[in-house]
Structure 1
Amino acid sequence: MDTLRGHDVANDQDDFDYAADAGIETPLAVASDERRLHVRAYNYWASLLGERSLPSIEDLNPDELEEFGPRSVLLDFSSGIDNPAIVYLGTALREECEIDSSISHINDVPARSLLSRLTDHYLQIIANAAPVGFEAEFINQRNADILYRGILMPFSSDDDTIDFIYGVINWKEAVTGDAADNLEREVQEALRTAPPRPVSAPLWADGPAADAAMGLPLEDETLDLAGMEAPAEDASLADWLAFARDSAEEASQSESRSHGALYRAIGLAYDFALAAQDAAEDYAEMLSDAGIKAQARSPMTAVIKLVFGATYDKTRIAEYATVLDHGWAAGMDRGAMAGYLENYAGGIKALVRDERALRRAERPVKTDRQDKARAALKTATAMAPETVTTDADGLAVVIARREGDGTLSIVAALPEGSDLCRRVVLATQG
Structure 2
Amino acid sequence: MDNFRAVEDSADIAGEEEPAMEAPPEIGVDERRMHVRAYNYWVSLLAGRPYPSIRDVEPHNLDDFGPHSVLLDFTGGSENPAVPFIGRALREECDLTAPVRTIADVPPRSLLSRLTDHYLQIIANRAPIGFEAEFVGQRGVNTLYRGILMPLSSDGDTIDYIYGVINWKEVADQNTANGIAEQAYRAAASGLSADASPIWADGPSAAPLEGFADGPSTEVGDEIDEDQHALDLPLGPDAGLADRLCAARETAEAVKNADARSRSALYRALGYAYDFALAAEAEPEDYAELLADAGLKAQARAPMTPVVKLVFGVAYDKARLTEYAAALSHARREAVATGGFTTFIESFSGGLKAVVQAERQARRPESKPDKSAEARETLRRARPVAFIPGTEGSEEFVLLIARREADGRLAVVAPVEGDKSLVERAIRKSAA
What range describes the TM-score normalised by the shorter chain of this pair?
0.3 to 0.5
Normalising by structure 1, report the TM-score: 0.41
